[in-house]
Amino acid sequence: MGDGHNVTGEIPVSYDNTVFEDIEKNIVLKKSNIASHYDFVMSTVGDSYKGINKYTYGNILQAIKTIVDSKKNQPRSSDEELAIAYLHGEMLFSSVTIQRIFLLFGKKMSMSKILDDASRVFEHRPAPVWLQRLEVGVY
């Protein structure tokens, strides 16, 4: 870059589009299900599937399955909130991508609900060590 800073590629990469396209192609269009696709991904040779660590992708699929399989009239469970927080906070999926993925399965979820669920989970987690040091004045 012109400012003398080099980008090292250490910024976490989000797999929003890759996951959305893969789910659309291999589950929705093929009229398959998340469990079958999970089994297929985990049975692939090596540690990656379409450039994503297959174990990470397996966790993403399990989080999506948790939410998709929930009853529509049942209040949100803590598992659903954890799954949403995982997708949004850990995997860095945008709320728009999460919303689009669930629409593929006929499940509507507002962006505010996605953000509220993720926020609620992260409120109860301990602050990172570096932030704890700042709060107590240890530098």
Domain ranges of the chain: 16-136
According to the model, what pLDDT value does residue 75 have? 58
pLDDT at residue 1 greater than cutoff 50: no
Phi, psi of 53 (to 5 degrees): -55, 125
0.85 surpassed by pTM: no
Q: Long-range contacts: 49-56, Cβ < 8 Å, 24+?
A: 50/18, 50/22, 51/18, 52/15, 52/18, 52/19, 56/91
pLDDT at residue 79 greater than cutoff 50: yes
Question: What whole-number distance in Å separates Cα of residue 12 and Cα of residue 15?
Answer: 10
Residue range 39-65: mean pLDDT, rounded: 93
Residue range 20-25: mean pLDDT, rounded: 95
